[in-house]
Structure 1
Amino acid sequence: MLIRAEIPVDAPGIDALLRRAFQRDAEADLVQRLREDGLLTLGIVATDPEGGVIGYAAFSPVWIEGEDCQWVGLAPLAVEDEFRHQGIARQLVYEALDMLNEFGYRGVVVQGDPAYYAALGFVPAAHGHLHCQQFAAAAPLHIFTLAEDAMADANGRVEYAEPFNQLLN
């Protein structure tokens, strides 16, 4: 298995993975729209020995109280069913966090299962006085800081890029 930043040739495999993993089109359409709108900060893939996409994580900009504070949101995250529970998602997230840190990003937000994301080092966003009302029924918001002073200007409402609003409809 190889974990790396996505390249254009990966797009069909990413699209197919997301449609299978979520059993709907919304997440695949979201990633395509983020790409088209220039809002895909980082896409990272796990590939099998033949180059097939077996895991994927997308990161896109988020705004805090309407300001670009150099934070990104993680969504979606998917792994092929037959490869789940092997630590691939964890490896995708950790590799991406390293890359984002090198790129100078200050923090990451994600909505999801508290136990899962706590095991990856994320903490509840309420610890940083952050909240997201964009997805009323969504799972709790969690944060991972990449810079020591990441919370200095990160306080208040988190907003994901506009294509995420399509995901809700």
Structure 2
Amino acid sequence: MLIRVEIPIDAPGIDALLRRSFKGNGEADLVKDLREDGLLTLGVVATDDEGQVVGYAAFSPVAVEGEELQWVGLAPLAVDEAYRGQGLAKQLVYEGLDSLNEFGYAAVVTLGEPALYGRFGFVPAAQFDLRCAWPDTEAYFLIHPLADDALNGVSGLVEYHEHFNREF
């Protein structure tokens, strides 16, 4: 198993993984559109011994109250069914967080299961008076500060790119 930053040749494997992992084509189309528009800050893949993509984590820019603060959103996160339960998602997320920290990003937000993402160091964003645009998501909107001062004086609406507003 190899975990690394995605390269262009990985795109078809990422697309296939996302189409297998999620109902419908929403996540695969989202990543394709983000990639085509230059909005993938970071993509991390896990490949098996044959080089097939079996895990993926995407990170793209978000704004807070319209201001760019070097924050990114984690979405989607996918692991091939045959590889689930082996800690691969954790490895993908940690590799992404480490890389983003090295590049000077301040925080990562995600919309996901608190029990899962809590194990990766994410905490409810609402405790910092942060929210996302989608209704009834307060319990699932989470943040992982990377910089010590990431949350100083920051509150309000965290805005994902319009590509995230499609139906999934």
The interval holding the TM-score normalised by the smaller chain is over 0.9
Once the two structures are TM-superposed, the CA of residue 136 in structure 1 deviates from its matched residue by 2.1
Q: CA RMSD in A?
A: 1.2
Letter in 2 for 1:152: N
Q: Does 1:91 align with 2:91?
A: yes
Deviations 1:61-102 (A, max 9, x none): 000000001100000000000100100000000000000001
Alignment of structure 1 residues 16-55 onto 2, 5 Å: 16-55=16-55
What is the SS of the residue equivalent to 2:108?
strand
Q: How does 1:38-117 map to 2 (within 5 A)?
A: 38-117=38-117
**Given the two structures, how large is their TM-score scaled by the length of structure 2?**
0.96
Deviation at 1:137? 4.8
Residues 85-164 of structure 1: pairs in structure 2 closer than 5 A: 85-133=85-133, 135-138=134-137, 140-164=140-164
Superposition deviation, residue 155 in structure 1: 1.1
Residues 69 and 153 in structure 1, CA contact (< 8 A), matched pair in contact too: no
Would the aligned equivalents of 1:69 and 1:154 in 2 still touch at CA under 8 Å? no
SS of structure 1 residue aligned to 2:49: coil
Q: Partner amino acid for 1:93? A: V
For 1:127 and 1:86, how far apart are their aligned partners in 2?
31
3-state DSSP class of the match of 2:39?
A: coil
After TM superposition, give the deviation of residue 153 of structure 1 in Å: 4.3
**Matches of 1:83 and 1:125, distance apart in 2:** 30
One-letter code of the match for 2:41?
T
- Distance of 2:136 and 2:51 partners within structure 1: 36
Pair 51,31 (structure 1): closer, same or farther in 2 beyond 3 Å: same
Superposed CA deviations along residues 99-139 of structure 1, whole A, max 9, x for unmatched, are: 00011100000011111111111110012211012x22546
The alpha-carbon deviation at position 154 of structure 1 amounts to: 2.5
**Which amino acid counterpart does residue 144 of structure 1 have in structure 2?**
H
Cα distance in 2 for partners of 1:72, 1:154 equals: 15
Change (3 A) 1:153 1:161: farther
The structure-2 alpha-carbon separation of the partners of 1:82 and 1:146, relative to structure 1 and needing over 3 Å to count, comes to same
Contiguous gaps of at least 5 residues in structure 1: none
- What 5-or-longer segments of structure 2 have no aligned partner? none
Aligned residues: 167
